[in-house]
């Protein structure tokens, strides 16, 4: 009897974990990425341009020369 109860509890816990993980993934906002400057990145200018154009967050990424990349929400 104890083994059956443990198995049932384990099964419910596993189902709960799977459902909570998949529902959390569906609630995330879609993010878009746009390269604003592929040749040079000044972090201050990159962030200002990204905020002004897309209301997003600008980052310098890649290797030298760094690229200015803007990450913003795709949904209207």
**Ordered per-residue pLDDT tens for the chain, 76 residues:** 555 676 666 665 656 565 555 544 444 568 889 999 999 899 999 999 999 999 999 999 988 889 999 999 987 5
Cβ atoms of 47 and 58 within 8 Å: the answer is yes
Q: Where are the domains of the chain?
A: 2-73
DSSP three-state, residue 39: coil
pLDDT for the residue 25: 40
pTM, whole model, 2 decimals? Answer: 0.58
């Amino acid at each position: 009897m104890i083994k059956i109860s443990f198995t049932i509890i384990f099964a419910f816990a596993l189902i709960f974990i799977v459902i909570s993980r998949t529902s959390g993934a569906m609630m995330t906002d879609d993010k878009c990425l746009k390269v604003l400057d592929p040749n040079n990145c000044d972090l201050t200018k990159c962030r200002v341009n990204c905020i002004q154009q897309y209301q997003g967050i600008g980052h310098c990424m890649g290797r030298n020369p760094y690229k200015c990349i803007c990450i913003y929400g795709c949904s209207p």
